[in-house]
Structure 1
Amino acid sequence: MHFAMVFKLEGGLALTRQMLVYGSVFLVLPVVMEQPTAFELNYAVIGCLPGLAIFPTIFGFYCNTKAIEYLSPSQVQILELSEPIFAALIAFVFLHEVPGPSTPFGGMLIVLCISIANGLLHFSHNSRSVNSIK
């Protein structure tokens, strides 16, 4: 969104397609670096894909609209940025996945950025230190 506003791009299907292509290219990089094991594409997998696309979308939309009743839309969007942290925690607890060495660093970086965006931390103009606001 910020990119579209800075470069004054008009919305619509063309911009959506462009962002989808660029996003897909950037998602291929981690897949190539991780070298995942082979997977099988069969009818059961194909049958599950619509459920993975539709139900989380509906539930996410519902949660988003309910959260906006209690918080401002900008706060809700900033808090939604913590999704990777909860995804990693759920994978660790329920699926017994062991996080990689960069996962805690990424989680701390996300929490730091959310704290700064919500005004919990700010940078003093007189010094280079991070000060906490109560």
Structure 2
Amino acid sequence: MGRNWCIQGLSYVSTGCELGVNSRSCMVKEDDDFLEHLVLLRTISLGADARDELHVVAVESKNTYGDHKPVPIASLRVSVLPMISLKGLEFVPPVTFMLQCGTGPVYLSGQHVTLEDVPMCKELLDTDGGDEDSARAEQDGD
């Protein structure tokens, strides 16, 4: 049976990084604040100075088995596909983005979401529970 949740303390922070010759990777670290964190990747684009060569961006994040293996998520080339928009690509920190191939610059942008889930507020539970209890009492009484 599912559990009802009431979300309190939801915050979105725009974030991004540049991958290139000087910085081949960037990492979003795990916070020890007992809150849930998500990294939502929105766009990956080549900079104006990028050469017309293949640029492969990969992500390394813990999978269900606890392994850390880089997985390519975008292949960009100035003359073919200089930018990609992503939807629904979510990662749980720690996560590392890396430039596996190419010299860059490659820009990644997205949001770092922090949310705190707590059991549904007492008033909502009482309201829902009261309606169900009174409906059952009426059925039992008939």
TM over 0.5: no
Normalised by the shorter chain, which TM-score bucket? under 0.3
Please identify which structure carries the higher helix content: 1
Task: Name the TM-score, length of structure 1 as normaliser.
Answer: 0.19
Task: Name the TM-score, length of structure 2 as normaliser.
Answer: 0.18
Higher CA-based Rg: 2
Higher relative contact order (CA 8 A, sep 6+): 2
